[in-house]
């Protein structure tokens, strides 16, 4: 039996803590998948599917509209960057077209873009989302979110200010358009 002052105590404790945290994350993911897809009856079935065919599971969840669950599977399994970007684009679309009262809207889409671990993902994700959006208005909304995101990281980017001003002008939001053009000067 090891005590706190003896060697070997901390590594064992750290390993056990890591295992507990990992199991908690896995179970939360399985719970999310169970609530998103009634095909599964138990977390054990979900766990087996996550291990056997994570890509198939991610695509199946995405096709049912459970994009956030699909993205969790793709991220945890380390699936291809292209698939993860596609799923992130679908999640961005879902957030943009979802009513703000139901957890969507431009503010949530902006938060989602900001939450991307790799800022290099933002452009491919936004471009993928743009192709999925159903109409010009939603595409303009995505462009506004994206340019505001870009402007946040580089407030002196004249191109972002100009493009944002053009979009606001096209959307008949002249006050915001003027604000963008003034920021450019």
Whether residue 78 has pLDDT greater than 50 = yes
Taking the alpha carbons of 11, 16, 20, 25 in that order, is the dihedral positive or negative? positive
Q: Which residues, 6+ apart, have CB-to-CB distance to 5 below 8 Å?
A: none
How many other CB atoms are there within 10 angstroms of residue 98's CB atom? 14
pLDDT bin (cut points 50, 70, 90) of residue 8 is low
Q: DSSP label at 101?
A: G
Rounded to 10°, the helix 9-36/54-63 angle is 40
How many other CB atoms are there within 10 angstroms of residue 26's CB atom? 15
Taking the alpha carbons of 160, 149, 124, 108 in that order, is the dihedral positive or negative? negative
Q: How far apart are CA 133 and CA 135, in angstroms?
A: 6
pLDDT bin (cut points 50, 70, 90) of residue 1 is very low
pLDDT tens profile 29-71: 888 888 888 888 888 888 888 899 999 999 999 988 889 899 9
Question: Rounded to two decimals, what is the model's pTM?
Answer: 0.74
> Residue 154, by phi and psi: left (phi above 0), alpha (psi -120 to 50) or beta?
beta
Q: What is the DSSP code string of 3-59?
A: -TTSTTHHHHHHHHHHHHHHHHHHHHHHHHHHHH-TT--SHHHHHHHHHH-HHHHHH
């Amino acid at each position: 039996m090891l005590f706190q002052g003896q060697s070997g105590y901390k590594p064992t404790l750290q390993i056990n803590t890591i295992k507990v945290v990992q199991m908690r994350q896995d179970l939360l993911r399985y719970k999310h998948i169970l609530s998103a897809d009634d095909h599964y009856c138990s977390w054990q079935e979900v766990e087996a599917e996550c291990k056997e065919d994570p890509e198939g599971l991610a695509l199946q969840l995405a096709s049912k509209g459970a994009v956030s669950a699909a993205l969790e599977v793709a991220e945890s399994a380390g699936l291809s960057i292209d698939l993860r970007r596609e799923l992130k684009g679908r999640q961005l679309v879902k957030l943009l077209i979802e009513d703000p009262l139901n957890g969507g809207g431009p503010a949530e889409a902006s938060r989602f873009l900001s939450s991307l671990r790799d800022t290099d993902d933002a452009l491919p994700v936004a471009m993928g989302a743009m192709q999925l959006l159903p109409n010009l208005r939603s595409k303009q909304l995505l462009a506004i979110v994206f340019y505001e995101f870009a402007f946040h990281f580089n407030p002196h980017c004249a191109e972002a200010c100009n493009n944002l001003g053009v979009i606001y002008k096209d959307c008949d939001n002249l006050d915001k358009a003027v604000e963008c053009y003034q920021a450019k000067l």
